[in-house]
Amino acid sequence: MEPVNTVKRINPKTENPGGKDNAKLPLPRLDPSKWTHAVIRESVSIAKKIGADALLFYMDSTKDILPLAKIKTDIKLIALTKRKECFEKAAELPIHAVLLPDVQLTRSGYLKIGFLSALSKGLLKSGDVIVCVGGLPEQGYMDTIMLIEVSTESQLFSGDVTATFPSEIRSEVFETLLGIVLELANEGREGKPVGSIFVLGDHEKVLSLSSQLVFNPFHGHPEESLNINAPQVKESLKEFSSIDGAFVIREDGVVLAAGRYLNVGYHGEALPQGLGTRHAAAAAITQVTNAVALTISESTGKVTLFKGGKILTEIEKAPPTPAKAIPG
């Protein structure tokens, strides 16, 4: 007896009129160089759906600011960039631009600086929900969307960062100081790493709780020549960063002293392991004053921001870029 053939043979002409395949073909994969437009479009859609207060873009992960110019929304737009030409273009658009220090940081490091600068400018406040968009600069396109609530994001900030900035401290002064500190942390001085403390704000109380360790190089000079935004003062801060003691800077940016010994003991929660007397002094002075303190770790180059006796955030240097192998 012949076996029964149970295989059904399909005649494409009769079973599938027109010869078309009913199976769905995979969509063509979008080239990464074109991701930026798609990511921006989706981020705006997400921001509208969740009722976000702002969209924050790290612009150095793309080559042009033009994609932002095409966004049509009432949501606040904030652009972070290290490029002055990008910063200047943003000023011509309905965008709040923040100029970042030109230093090498991790992706989260740039985000932290952007948040701190935006908070100091009053662009963000406690409880705001932010849609953050960015990517790695070396890639040249955006690839990441992240949702953050400003006052609860523990991965970026250890405390309520919205309480960081006393109203007396000018935003441009804080941004300038942060830039100088990050440059020192990344570059050191004359090729050598430095460790230092910078205390900003509540200057009268800070001076009353400190004493001069060495001759104060800023004493006796007219105030107009001591503002932190002046190029020669920036260089002086870097030059004297290796001397012992802390810098004391007034709320309006006038550098009052270098080499101050902070006569305050720290009485609070134990600081993380690896942080020494410099960090304890910074925590202590912010515990008893309304000042903000920034420290540079000589061993790691990590920048730590203190307020109210607590660490608010730490900004780490980016790891060294691996050297490319030279073909033999």
CATH number for the domain including 61? 3.40.1380.20
Whether residues 252 and 148 fall in one domain? no
- Domain-located, residue 4: no
Q: How far apart are CA 234 and CA 226, in angstroms?
A: 9
- Domain-located, residue 127: yes
Using DSSP's 3-state secondary structure scheme, residue 327 falls into coil
- Domain-located, residue 304: yes
Judge contact between 59 and 65, C-beta under 8 A.
Answer: yes
From 171, 83, 156, 47, select the one nearest 119 (Cα to Cα): 171
Whether residues 97 and 141 fall in one domain? yes
Whether residues 260 and 202 fall in one domain? yes
Residue after which a domain boundary falls, among 124, 157, 190:
157
- Domain-located, residue 143: yes
Output the CA torsion sign for 39, 313, 276, 173.
positive
Give the residues of the chain that fall short of pLDDT 50.
Answer: 1-13, 323-328
Whether residues 180 and 306 fall in one domain? yes
Q: Are strands 129-134 and 144-149 parallel, antiparallel or unpaired?
A: antiparallel
- Domain-located, residue 9: no
Specify the pLDDT at position 254. Answer: 96
Whether residues 145 and 80 fall in one domain? yes
Specify the pLDDT at position 5. Answer: 42
Q: How far is CA 33 from the centre of its chain?
A: 24
Number of domain units in the chain: 2
Give the CA-trace dihedral at 156, 162, 168, 172, to 10 degrees: 40
* CATH number reported for the structural domain that contains residue 288 in this entry: 3.40.1700.10
Whether residues 175 and 149 fall in one domain? no
For the stretch 285-306, pLDDT in tens is 999 999 999 999 998 889 999 9
- Domain-located, residue 162: no
- Domain-located, residue 181: yes
- Domain-located, residue 67: yes
Whether residues 132 and 258 fall in one domain? no
Whether residues 103 and 200 fall in one domain? no
Whether residues 143 and 200 fall in one domain? no
Full residue range of the structural domain in which residue 45 is found: 33-157
Residue after which a domain boundary falls, among 125, 157, 189:
157
Residue after which a domain boundary falls, among 128, 157, 186:
157
Helix (H) or strand (E) holding 147: strand 144-149
Whether residues 112 and 60 fall in one domain? yes
Q: Which residues pair with 57 in a beta bridge?
A: 79, 133
Whether residues 206 and 292 fall in one domain? yes
Specify the pLDDT at position 25. Answer: 65
Whether residues 301 and 176 fall in one domain? yes
Q: How far is CA 53 from CA 45, 171, 230, 296, in A?
A: 13, 21, 35, 33
